[in-house]
Structure 1
Amino acid sequence: MKDQILIKATDMFLTLGFKSVTMDDIAAEMGISKKTIYQHYSNKDSLVKEVTLHLFETISCGIDGICAVGKSPIEELFAIKNFVLEHLKNEAASPFYQLNKYYPKIYSTLKKKQFGKMSECVLDNLNRGVQDGLFREDINVEIIGRFYFAGMNSLKDEELFPKNQFNAIEIQEHYLEYHLRGICTEKGKEKLEQLLKTNK
């Protein structure tokens, strides 16, 4: 039952937002009593924390799987973008904007975990891109990696990118292209153009 609650809560939080969904909503959706939820999760904060950890682990495992395939660094970034958007229900902004606003401690913990993952994944991607001649040799990998991470986090800011004005998928696509055009060699740009055509 605990896993079922976690799965349903994850789905509802991502669809409607961490603040918007109440314990009553989850209980009603599952056809169980709120008391049943509290037998497994002492309060909403503990459920939100568990959901964010579950999401992080799921997405991290998926990213590891993509990285293990041995795609080119540019293809890898496109595959990761598609995978993450799919698991976040294509909602890059709203749920995490609410998480940051109403559960700042949980959001801060998640951000630290994400930064650790970025250090491992994005820096490796950048280094391989340079080695393969797809990314410029003169880029500072540490700085560009942090630029990329900072930019990805800014996309979740609903004040910068209001949901009623910007499409989450489109924002992610533009950001990835923006990132790659700044670091690609001519060889990399050719690869990027091919992928942009196939991803449309």
Structure 2
Amino acid sequence: MGEVVLQKAKELFFTYGLKSISMDDLAKQAGVSKKTIYQAVADKQELVGKVVDDLIQCHQATLTTSCTSSANAIEEVINLSCVPFDTLAAININFFYELEKFFPVEWKKLIAHKQKTMQPTIIKNLERGMAEGLYREDLNSAFTAAIRLQQISTALNPSDFNEKKMDTRQLMNDLTLFYLHSITTTKGKRIFTKYLNLNNENKSIQA
């Protein structure tokens, strides 16, 4: 499929959801004929599949970059709560609702990504943090990872957490602070505080 068509499909689906965007809408917005689109995909289902595959690949790439560029486990958590999270947070929540309801095969791909990539990434970070002496040794990695995944899901859909309108990014920041406070050792808290103070200083400079 042409990169222009795929990018336009992502833009429209992520902004308006899946059901409200027809193949006619896509053809018009991409500046191609509907026939051209159907030469690349058999139907909307296949198109959605390609969009989901691309989303997973992009998210996987940001996860890998965030992990490999981190000096320690705490920095890794902070990095993981930025670009990888923002990749998903930028998507209209209706996209995920409609994907689960109307495109179950593609929805299962996201669930598999969560279980086979996101959860192991968190567990690996927990093991790294314990080895570095930054996280408590008594942590149950699987249980703690499950809690962290739930935090991410909550931040992506703040209305499930609180009836009041909340900023997704701020909620993710608050949940990350809560998470790190609960798992770090005294040594970890000192390092965590340094990152927190540096972040506050940067905000002051930007202001």
Q: TM-score, normalised by structure 1?
A: 0.85
Q: Distance in 2 between matches of 1:18 and 1:4?
A: 18
Q: Distance in 1 between matches of 2:5 and 2:189?
A: 45
Task: Quote the residue 1:30 is aligned against.
Answer: 30
Deviation of 1:164 (Å): 7.8
Q: 1:123-142: CA deviations, max 9, x gaps?
A: 11001111112111111112
Task: Quote the residue 1:171 is aligned against.
Answer: 171
Check conservation: 2:88, 2:156, Cα contact below 8 A: no
Task: Quote the residue 2:146 is aligned against.
Answer: 146
| 3-state SS in 1 of match to 2:29 | helix
Task: Quote the residue 1:115 is aligned against.
Answer: 115
For CA contacts below 8 A with separation 6 or more, give which structure has more relative contact order.
Answer: 1
Task: Quote the residue 2:81 is aligned against.
Answer: 81
Deviation of 1:4 (Å): 1.9
Q: Distance in 2 between matches of 1:163 and 1:55?
A: 29
| 3-state SS in 1 of match to 2:160 | coil
Deviation of 1:92 (Å): 7.3
Q: 1:138-175: CA deviations, max 9, x gaps?
A: 11112111222233234444751589812221222222
Give the letter for the 1:90 counterpart: A
Task: Quote the residue 1:69 is aligned against.
Answer: 69
Task: Quote the residue 2:128 is aligned against.
Answer: 128
Structure 2 stretches lacking a partner, 5+ long:
none
Give the letter for the 2:130 counterpart: V
Q: Distance in 2 between matches of 1:131 and 1:150?
A: 24
Which structure has the bigger radius of gyration? 2
Relative to 1, partners in 2 of residues 1:28 and 1:79: Cα closer, same or farther, differing over 3 Å? same
The 10-residue stretch of structure 1 (116-125 or 10-19) with the greater mean CA deviation from structure 2? 10-19
Task: Quote the residue 2:185 is aligned against.
Answer: 185
Relative to 1, partners in 2 of residues 1:89 and 1:126: Cα closer, same or farther, differing over 3 Å? closer
Q: Distance in 2 between matches of 1:189 and 1:20?
A: 47
Task: Quote the residue 1:100 is aligned against.
Answer: 100
Task: Quote the residue 1:7 is aligned against.
Answer: 7
Q: 1:26-77: CA deviations, max 9, x gaps?
A: 2121111222212112111211111111111111122112222342111112
| 3-state SS in 2 of match to 1:99 | helix
Q: CA RMSD in A?
A: 2.5
State percent identity of aligned pairs: 29
Q: Distance in 1 between matches of 2:22 and 2:162?
A: 23
Q: Distance in 2 between matches of 1:75 and 1:95?
A: 30
Relative to 1, partners in 2 of residues 1:170 and 1:17: Cα closer, same or farther, differing over 3 Å? farther
| 3-state SS in 2 of match to 1:133 | coil
Q: Distance in 1 between matches of 2:171 and 2:195?
A: 17
Task: Quote the residue 2:53 is aligned against.
Answer: 53
The 10-residue stretch of structure 1 (110-119 or 88-97) with the greater mean CA deviation from structure 2? 88-97
